[in-house]
Amino acid sequence: MPIRMFLGSDASVGPYDLKVMGEAFSSALSKLGLSAGNDPMVEMVGRRIIRAMLDGERDPVRLFEIGLEGTDPPTAQASDRQTDTKRNEQSGGRGAA
């Protein structure tokens, strides 16, 4: 899916910048397992990359990272905290003995 579909008509982007954004976008979608054009996550990733490029970012790796920001699944540590909280609630607030 081309990133240019998320570019506004007033955005002036050269061929090299378009290529860099497209590669970052494709890599980010692949990393997230996304491909559907109607998925709001796809648009969010594309718009983040475009905004970063228009703000002056040109590093393809950094554009990729910006596209992924905030899309990571919860970490194991966060999941462990949720499990501990549930256990505590189920035991009536009494911590582990």
pLDDT tens by residue, 44-91? 999 999 999 999 999 999 999 999 998 765 444 444 445 555 555 666
Q: How far apart are CA 35 and CA 38, in angstroms?
A: 9
Please determine, for residue 7, whether its predicted confidence score (pLDDT) is greater than 70: yes
Q: What is the residue extent of each domain of the chain?
A: 3-90
Query: Which helix (H) or strand (E) is 20 found in, with range?
Result: helix 15-32
- The angle, 0 to 180 degrees and rounded to 10, between the axes of the packed helices 15-32 and 40-54 is 140
What global pTM score does this model have? 0.69
Predicted pLDDT of residue 87: 59
Q: Helices 40-54 and 60-68, interaxial angle, to 10°? A: 140
